[in-house]
A and B are shown apart, each in its own frame.
Chain A
Amino acid sequence: MITPRFDNVIHAPNRLRICAILAAVDSADFSTVRDGIGVSDSVLSKHIASLHASGYVAIRKSSCGARTRTTLSLSPAGRRAFKEHVSALHAITENNPQRR
């Protein structure tokens, strides 16, 4: 059962897109998410740090030859918060009388 709940951390457009991508998969490479959002590494890092601080995103680093591979995934709390936030957005649009 999902209770609609507006989440200010997730609501920023780029963070919402990050969560939307990560919620559909188990994990994604940092570069894949960056390509999907269309931002620079540093901008994505800031958003990820914010989501990580809220306990919504898990970051895993592994060495891949000479490079470090960063993998991102939504934590169970992040998945729940994303579902609740999307549910809240749908509830707002459905309750607007101008749309009827």
Chain B
Amino acid sequence: MENENSVEESLTAAISGREWLAQRLVAPWWYHPCLGLLAGALTAVGIARNGTFFAWAVVGYSIGCGLVMWANQRRVGVSMRYFDRAMSSVFVAQVLCMALVAAVACWLEFSRNLRGALLVAALCEFGITLLFGYWSDRVLRQRIVSLQR
């Protein structure tokens, strides 16, 4: 039978492997700011009040997000299901929050003719992306470090 020290060392080895992985999976410094800039830019495009221009911006936003995620995925070198219940909750909250900000800004800009509302919303979208991004990093880290999985 293994002695207590050996067992402790084994558990420490397993946990250190998970901590290394968690560190690697946490998004690099450029990841959330890039996604935030893309979200902010998409919102700011609304100022042009041009449907075709906005449709192209949505295409650009989708491609941009895809490229940023692909670059991160290549760096990490693992494939995994990111969206468990906790991560999905954070993601849904982020989408709802961003949609609410965009809806309020559109109402102010187009119905109330309040110039600059979309620009403020663009800044908010950048901040929301950063905030929820770092939050999801924390949730992911907790999940990885736990040896229950």
Contacts and interface: CB of A to CB of B under 8 A. Distances in A.
A25 interface: yes
Contacts of B9: 13
A21 B76 contact: no
Contacts of B15: 20
A90 B11 contact: yes
Nearest to A79: B149
Interface in B10-48: 10-11, 13-18, 20-21, 24
A27 B7 contact: no
B50 interface: no
A24 to B, nearest CB: 5
Contact of A36 (B11, B24, B80): B24
Interface residues of B, number: 26
Interface in A47-94: 71, 86, 89-90, 92-93
A81 to B, nearest CB: 13
Contact of A21 (B4, B7, B17, B143): B17
Contacts of B92: none
Nearest to B21: A21
Interface residues of A, number: 30
Given A31-B77, A32-B77, A11 B10 contact: yes
A96 interface: yes
A89 B79 contact: no
A20 B11 CA distance: 10
6 contacts: A17-B16, A20-B21, A23-B149, A26-B78, A89-B7, A92-B7
List the 9 closest pairs (A to B, CB-CB), nearest first. A32-B77, A17-B17, A20-B17, A25-B80, A29-B77, A20-B14, A28-B78, A25-B78, A13-B13
Given A32-B78, A35-B24, 13 more contacts: A18-B17, A21-B17, A21-B20, A24-B144, A25-B78, A25-B80, A27-B78, A27-B79, A29-B77, A32-B76, A86-B14, A90-B11, A92-B7
